[in-house]
Amino acid sequence: MSFDYDVFLGGSCGATTWRQELIPHLRRLGITFFNPQRDSWCEDMIKLEHDAKEKSRILLFVVDYRQRSLVTLIEIVYLAALRAPIIVVLPDERSFVAKPSEYYDRCKTVDFVRRVLHHHRVPTCVSVDEAVTLIEGILLKNKAVKESLKSLDCCLTTAGSLFSLPLNLIFFFILHHVCSESFRMHFEYILRYRFPKIILLARVVKYAALLMCMFYNPIFFILLAFCSLLVAYVMVPVLKRLQDIALPAGNVQYAYHLYMNTTIPTNECLAYLYSRLKNLKVTFALADDFLPEQRLGAIASSLCVFYAVSCSTNSIYDLVKETESPLRSYCRAILYLKDMASSRDVSFFENDLNSAVDRILKCLQCCCQCSDMQYDCCSSYTSTKMIA
């Protein structure tokens, strides 16, 4: 996979200056970067940023404690769940500048984000300087190892590429036909930037073994090449079939039918859902009933996940009354959520709570016909995520 940039400079925008302070340092080190901050933001930037993230070796996301926008936190959690090569700068909650009424909510939100990052083993720093030091260690150390062993690596690559073609084909087919895109990205990140010497060592061992085999037993080498190609074409459908058997929809068990988190008053939302789902034996998992460290487990053990966000209640409404900037930020967050939902096959409903509940009802009507919370008759609805 080729990269156009070393670092994607994501995170808080607005009046922040951390990018302007960091860019000269990156240029001195010869580190290429993509800066998504623009004087005027438009919806087309979402596609541009998405392409830049895929073409960047490392995604740096900085959360500025002075910013109220949730867009950065949404992106961070989304990318962490995809196991993207992300490094996050998350400030200490004590540094937040917020009203007393907002401070608790902000601390609770950041604490949940921190737990998600810890769950996915994402490097989390407390300052930009700490993150830059980590990035330098990953990128520059990798370059130093490559340069110091460049001649040896070049010789081995030139002599061994042809001989290792069968093994490379097997690895390529297995990696691209069995593993998900997010796993491949995370796997490449771990090997290429965390442990570059492992790649070189593997090449040395592989090429040395193949060369010895070719010189000492050429007939066996030709037979190995033929068998490798044959095995590659046979193993791919078999492995895909085994993957389908290993995780069949009928073996998935859930503790709850519906996990719900909402900015709408919970009692009001529950009353509406109960009125629509009263004929079904539905078990609810409410976010407020779980401690922050328990919510990830509750989400994973729920068949459907339902988030209802309202801009007319709580802190969002208060922010909109003060200035138009938070409203623009909220609308921007909705656009990012739409893009994330469409890319991950998530149902998204805007200003249409009835349609969202209809989607839940359709899923649960099928699932409740099964028993013991095992749903082999509705694999197309399993683990459906819904946003209203």
pTM of the full structure: 0.61
Rounded to whole angstroms, what are the CA distances from 247 to 38, 101, 240? 44, 45, 11
Residue 347 belongs to a domain: yes
**Closest by CA position to 199, among listed 142, 258, 114:** 142
Check whether residue 231 and residue 255 sit in a common domain.
Answer: no
N-terminal to C-terminal alpha carbon distance within the chain:
36
Edge-to-edge strand order for the sheet containing 347-348? 284-286, 256-262, 302-308, 384-387, 347-348
Residue 220 belongs to a domain: yes
pLDDT at 186: 62
Residue 144 belongs to a domain: no
Domain enclosing residue 216, as ranges: 149-246
Which residue type sits at 269? C
* Backbone CA torsion sign across 31, 32, 37, 38: positive
Check whether residue 218 and residue 101 sit in a common domain.
Answer: no
Check whether residue 316 and residue 339 sit in a common domain.
Answer: yes
Check whether residue 60 and residue 102 sit in a common domain.
Answer: yes
Residues in the chain with pLDDT < 70?
1-2, 67-69, 93-102, 141-197, 199-200, 224-225, 228-253, 263-269, 278, 310-327, 367-388
Contacts of 50 (CB under 8 A, 6+ apart): 339
Check whether residue 20 and residue 109 sit in a common domain.
Answer: yes
Residue 330 belongs to a domain: yes
Task: Using the 3D structure, point to which of 113, 136, 159 is the last residue of a domain.
Answer: 136
Check whether residue 33 and residue 53 sit in a common domain.
Answer: yes
Contacts of 295 (CB under 8 A, 6+ apart): 112, 287
pLDDT at 251: 46
Question: Are 214 and 166 a contacting pair, CB within 8 Å?
Answer: no
Edge-to-edge strand order for the sheet containing 124-125? 33-34, 5-11, 56-62, 86-89, 124-125
User: What is the CATH classification number for the domain harbouring 125?
Assistant: 3.40.50.450
Residue 141 belongs to a domain: no
Check whether residue 307 and residue 178 sit in a common domain.
Answer: no
pLDDT at 8: 92
User: How confident is the model over 82-96, as pLDDT tens digits?
Assistant: 888 899 988 776 665
pLDDT at 345: 73
Question: Which tokens go with 47?
Answer: 């596609």
Check whether residue 178 and residue 226 sit in a common domain.
Answer: yes
Task: Using the 3D structure, point to which of 82, 114, 136 is the last residue of a domain.
Answer: 136
Residue 329 belongs to a domain: yes
Check whether residue 64 and residue 130 sit in a common domain.
Answer: yes
- Angle among Cα 36, 42, 46 to the nearest 5 degrees reads 55
Tally of domains within the chain:
3
pLDDT at 237: 66
Task: Using the 3D structure, point to which of 106, 136, 166 is the last residue of a domain.
Answer: 136
Check whether residue 132 and residue 22 sit in a common domain.
Answer: yes
Check whether residue 260 and residue 380 sit in a common domain.
Answer: yes
Residue 143 belongs to a domain: no
Residue 371 belongs to a domain: yes
Check whether residue 156 and residue 128 sit in a common domain.
Answer: no
User: How confident is the model over 45-79, as pLDDT tens digits?
Assistant: 888 888 888 888 899 999 887 766 678 888 898 88
Q: Which parts of the chain are beta strand (E)?
A: 5-11, 33-34, 56-62, 86-89, 124-125, 256-262, 284-286, 302-308, 347-348, 384-387
